[in-house]
Amino acid sequence: MLAFLLFGFAVSSVVYCIWPAVYEAKSVFTMDVQPPKGGYDESSHEMDYYSDDYEEIFKMRRSEWRSKDFFSRIIRQFRVNYPDSTLSDKALGEMLENSMLERMGHSRRMRLTAYSPTAKLAAALANTYVETIKTLTEERYKESCEKALVQIHMQVERAKNFSNEIYQDLLQKEKEHRIVVEKSHERAYVLRAAQVPTKPVVPNPRVIYPVGAVLSLGLGLLFCRGIKRRRSMSKRRDEAK
């Protein structure tokens, strides 16, 4: 049995050495009206930034952020951030498809996990992904603000033809509405940028070696059982003679 166990560890070591490494990097962000105070604490409870009706909103956003069009936008941003990269768009697209975007519990926080054969690429891909989300939300926020303020400004300009009192009143409302608009639109805020991982998640020695040990012991038991059965059959033949 000891020989089979040693054989199992030897095979596990070979598998561990030849198995392609996979690194993962995680970035945490939130969609909120304003940046959360205190940043992100790894030990904080998942109920922080709680929102009971956020699930449907998250599903709609996730559907958009996982689309091919959005992946193309991420790839373009990646080319801007890392112009020296020699990876093809197809390879980047496959890694983006293999990435994970999930909501953290019942909170408004989201986690983006990127996987890559190299540690630096995993972190770069995760951060570029979240950066693209942040840029998109800021563009839409700016666009919606501009549309709302243009309409208010048109009303204020028309009021000039009536009376100074009405004009001043609408001008004050325009200022108040500008503040409301700027505070009422959700944008993406990065809580924790992805760091370059120090070790791969695949292959995992905590899985490979125990599995190798169990399989080798099982093989050893089957081998011993086979020998025992063969000896028993040989003994029966001798007795029959």
10, 13, 15, 21: CA torsion to nearest 10: 180
Residue that has been written with the tokens 């054989």 in this structure? 7
SS3 of residue 54 by DSSP: coil
Q: Give the SS3 label for residue 131.
A: helix
The string of pLDDT tens digits covering residues 192-221 is 999 999 888 776 666 666 766 666 667 666
Contacts of 81 (CB under 8 A, 6+ apart): 124, 128, 131
pLDDT 10s digits, 130-146: 999 999 988 887 776 66
Res 200: pLDDT: 81
What pLDDT is recorded for position 51?
54
pLDDT per residue as tens digits for the range 56-66 = 888 888 999 99
Please give the structure tokens belonging to residue 157.
């300009």
CA dihedral 208, 210, 213, 215 (to 10 degrees): -70
What average pLDDT does this structure show over 221-239? 70
- The pLDDT tens digits of the residues spanning 156-167 come to 666 666 556 666
In the chain, where do the E strands start and end?
23-32, 100-103, 109-116, 187-192
Summarize the confidence of residues 103-132 as an average pLDDT.
93
In the chain, the percentage of residues whose pLDDT exceeds 90 is 33
Domain ranges of the chain: 1-19+203-221, 21-192
Give the Cβ contact number of residue 105 at 10 Å: 12
Contacts 24+ apart (CB under 8 A), 137-140: 137/31, 137/186, 137/187, 137/188, 138/187, 138/188
- What confidence tens digit (pLDDT) does each residue in 34-48 have? 666 655 555 555 445
Cβ distance 130 to 27 under 8 Å? yes
Residue 184's H or E segment, with its range, is none
Position 236 scores a pLDDT of 67
Q: Which of 42-51, 73-82, 112-121, 184-193 has the lowest mean pLDDT?
A: 42-51
Specify the range with the lowest mean pLDDT, choosing from 71-75, 123-127, 183-187.
Answer: 183-187
pLDDT above 80 (res 67) = yes
> Residue 47: its pLDDT value, please?
46
Q: Considering the chain, what percentage of its residues have pLDDT values greater than 70?
A: 54
Is the model more confident about 33 or about 222? 222
pLDDT of residue 123: 96
Question: What average pLDDT score do residues 1-5 get?
Answer: 59
